[in-house]
Amino acid sequence: MCSALLALSTAVMCLCACTAGGQVSASGAPPSGSSSAPAPSSVSQSAQEPQPQPEPETPAIVTDPSANPLTGLAKADDWPEGMRPLAVMLDNVQAALPQRGLQSADLVYEMVTEGGITRLMAVYSDYTSMPEVGPVRSARDQHVQLMFPLGAMYLHVGGSTYAKALLSQYHYEAKSLDGYFQAGALELDAQRNLTAAIEHCWFTSGELFSQAAAQYRLDTAMDGPQQAVFQFVPYVQEPRVLAGGEASQLYIRFSSYANSAFRYDAEKAQYVKSQFGAPHLDENTGEAVTFDNLLVLFTDTEKYPGGILTKVNFAWGGVGWYFNGGRCEPVRWLKGAPEQPLRIVSADGAETPVEVNPGRTYIAVVGLDMYSYFRINDTAPVWQAAE
């Protein structure tokens, strides 16, 4: 695992060095013609052994109390101070489309769960104003591990053994609602159920979840000040211009079944999402989902015993790319234990927090085995780039 990440990190850094300020092409391989590193010079046997140095302190993320900690944007006048955000698990198989509520989410996470399919986790700062959202689906442990550091409440319908074990281990019963047993937060869309299986037809809303939170006495209050999810550029400043080059479109392949693609809309100053070769629609708006920031993070994945459920390795961290404003730059990411926050840091090894421009963010966590399919600025249509 470590050697794979090191090799991939080296390839990404080479790509960045060779393309900084211009067009970027990510293929997962180092540039052709690169030579091996020179052999280290010999060291005199009489040289004094180096003394161990103290580990440098990890730079802390600075949280602006006037900004939404999930987006970095200025808090609205009706900001729900002290209230936990809400993370909702969303079905993402083709039979469950179109979904509702993605465009209203502050954060959206996408990862493979089993059989090559992905599941989404949408996070809302203010669940009381949340529109209709769904279809709501079951919990998976990789999403739970990214939910914990947010201090969020969690809504799902059932869950894997590993997800349920994590929720129990971290005593999340008072902050998590399983619609399979606690149905008050969900409503069946009977009309959709005429043509879709029932598991694709359960939806929530701000009104429904608020009623359920009161009914089941959920812990809706943060334990303390909510920390920013990224080191945001202050919203009163001009957005940062990313240093890695232009990025007008990109393609992510999660598996032979699932893919996500984005194109930059300069007029909106946002990335427009596609999947399965078509615009990724939010049924609430009738339009494709858009995001200000994209983070594509690569790591090791494997199968849990039984060979069905996917295990995402958050222990080692990995490499990735940050996209904003039609540009990109390579990054590294770190996490560790389930309760530890996801950290986006510089690709140079200094572990300096990357400054993320304010806005709504999409985060994809992708297996290392899919890096060779990853494309930036491919001339082919983005959803066809890996076919």
- CATH at residue 186: 3.50.90.10
102 domain residue, yes or no: yes
Cα–Cα distance for residue pair 96/186, rounded to 1 Å: 16
Residue type, 25: S
Which DSSP string do the residues of 276-334 spell out, in sequence order? Answer: TTEE-EETTTTEE-EESEEEEEEE-EEEPTTS-BEEE--SS-EEEEEEETTEEEEEEEE
Q: In sequence order, which residues have a C-beta less than 8 Å from that of residue 8 and are 6 or more positions away? A: 28, 298, 318, 319, 368, 371
CB 107 within 8 A of CB 124: no
The arrangement of strands across the sheet holding 327-334 comes to 176-178, 153-156, 86-90, 117-124, 107-114, 361-367, 293-299, 318-324, 327-334, 343-346
**Residue 131 preceded by cis peptide, ω within 30:** no
23 domain residue, yes or no: no
**Residue 135 preceded by cis peptide, ω within 30:** yes
pLDDT digits 0-9 by tens, 41-84: 333 333 344 454 444 456 778 899 999 999 999 999 999 999 99
Q: Which two tokens stand for residue 86?
A: 């809400």
Cα–Cα distance for residue pair 113/29, rounded to 1 Å: 27
Q: How many domains does the chain have?
A: 1
304 domain residue, yes or no: no
- Residue 25: the pLDDT is 53
- Residue 151: the pLDDT is 97
- Residue 51: the pLDDT is 52
118 domain residue, yes or no: yes
211: enclosing H helix or E strand: helix 206-215
Q: What is the largest CA-CA distance in the chain?
A: 81
365 domain residue, yes or no: no
* Residue 276 burial by Cβ neighbours in a 10 Å radius (0-12, 13-18, 19+): middle
User: For residue 117, what are the domain limits?
Assistant: 86-215
The pTM (predicted TM-score) of the whole model is 0.87
pLDDT in tens, the chain (387 residues): 544 444 555 545 444 443 444 455 554 433 333 333 333 333 333 334 445 444 445 677 889 999 999 999 999 999 999 999 999 999 999 999 999 999 999 999 999 999 999 999 999 999 999 999 999 999 999 999 999 999 999 999 999 999 999 999 999 999 999 999 998 999 999 999 999 999 999 999 999 999 999 999 999 999 999 999 999 999 999 999 999 999 999 999 999 999 999 999 999 999 999 999 999 999 999 999 999 999 999 999 999 999 999 999 999 899 999 999 999 999 999 999 999 999 999 999 889 999 999 999 999 999 999 999 999 998 565 545 444
186 domain residue, yes or no: yes
Phi-psi region of 351 (alpha: psi -120 to 50; beta: other; left: phi over 0): left
Cα–Cα distance for residue pair 371/365, rounded to 1 Å: 11
68 domain residue, yes or no: no
97 domain residue, yes or no: yes
- Residue 318: the pLDDT is 94
Identify which of 283, 259, 218, 257 has the alpha carbon closest to the alpha carbon of residue 87: 218
pLDDT digits 0-9 by tens, 348-379: 988 999 999 999 999 999 999 999 999 999 85
